[in-house]
Amino acid sequence: MRKTAWTTSTIVALLLIITTPAAQTQSDTPVRPNREAPGEFQFVRLAYSSNSYGRGGYGRRQMWQTDWPDADYHFSRGVDRLTRVSVAEQGRILTPLDEEIFDYPWIYAVEVGHWSLNEQEAERMRAYLLRGGFLMVDDFHGTYEWAAFVASMERVFPDRPIIEIPESDAALHVVYDLDNRIQIPSRMFLYSGTTYEKDGYTPHWRGIYDDDGRLMVAINFNMDIGDAWEHADWPDYPENMTALAYRFGINYLIYAMTH
């Protein structure tokens, strides 16, 4: 990462207010006005190469756009409300080949069971992660999508294993102690009563680490954290699942900015 990208970020842990998150974005707690861009945190969504497009109703909407822009907006407002991190007014969308990617310590990628990184994109992502970047991936399910995700991830790191994140890892405790983990479902759970999709019955919190034991890639498999962010203001979406989604996102963000 560029040195200037970390100057203010490294003091975030000292400024953080640890509160119990009221997960729904509509609450009696006033939301502080956003600071001027760029702030210490700007939500960055990864626009990746893919051979797939959105499901029914999305038309030609690409898979990386799933839950956009509401998920990005609601999570950013949650960070602004629950921490002292200075949050940028607007999020950004970057590709792996954008030079600005190195200015951001935390990037989010959704529906990665449909991504297909070419060698150039994989090389750039490898450089970004090894230089201190953090990638959070989310909302992919079942055997087929796992295989597609791994096929591209192996281009990024052919020699680094994907493992279950240990219970003791700082990413699970840096702000909130995430000991009680449940499968976070999409909004379709409200109609079907089923928390899983395809054959993704069991949720997994997996990761890829660098040589110093720093978590570089947080892999949220068989769950849909982005939907919980997107629908945080839906009265019918379960509050405990939205609260957990915020906790995971904030933990990953603070970990990325301080490790």
- What's the structural domain count of the chain? 1
Per-range mean pLDDT, top range of 46-50, 159-163, 194-198 = 159-163
132's tokens: 């201190």
Chain Cα centroid distance, residue 97: 19
Residue 33 — pLDDT band, cuts 50, 70, 90? very low
User: Strand (E) positions, 47-201?
Assistant: 92-94, 106-110, 134-138, 163-164
Residue 37 — pLDDT band, cuts 50, 70, 90? low
Please tell me the predicted confidence (pLDDT) of residue 34: 39
Please tell me the predicted confidence (pLDDT) of residue 57: 39
Inform me whether the pLDDT recorded for 21 exceeds 90.
no
38 preceded by a cis bond (ω within 30 of 0): yes
Inform me whether the pLDDT recorded for 27 exceeds 60.
no
Which residues have a Cβ under 8 Å from the Cβ of 181 and sit 6 or more positions away?
Answer: 203, 205, 244
* CA–CA–CA angle 131, 226, 238 (5° rounding): 140
Please tell me the predicted confidence (pLDDT) of residue 204: 98
185 preceded by a cis bond (ω within 30 of 0): no
Q: How many CA atoms lie within 13 A of 95 on its CB side?
A: 10
Q: Environment class of residue 6 by beta-carbon count within 10 Å: exposed (0-12), middle (13-18) or buried (19+)?
A: middle
Please tell me the predicted confidence (pLDDT) of residue 23: 37
Please tell me the predicted confidence (pLDDT) of residue 84: 93
46 is in which domain, residue-wise?
Answer: 3-258
Residue 191 — pLDDT band, cuts 50, 70, 90? confident
Beta strands 163-164; 92-94: pairing state: unpaired
Which CATH number belongs to the domain containing residue 107 in this structure?
Answer: 3.40.50.12140
* CA–CA–CA angle 105, 41, 234 (5° rounding): 115
The larger pLDDT score, comparing residue 119 to residue 52, is at 119
Cα-flanking dihedrals φ and ψ of residue 50, to 5°?
-155, 150
Please tell me the predicted confidence (pLDDT) of residue 13: 40
- pLDDT for 139-190, tens place per residue? 999 999 999 999 999 999 999 999 999 999 999 999 999 998 899 998 887 7
Between helix 239-258 and helix 70-82 the angle, nearest 10°, is 70
Please tell me the predicted confidence (pLDDT) of residue 185: 92
Please tell me the predicted confidence (pLDDT) of residue 187: 83
User: What is the rounded average pLDDT of the residues 26-38?
Assistant: 41
Inform me whether the pLDDT recorded for 58 exceeds 50.
no
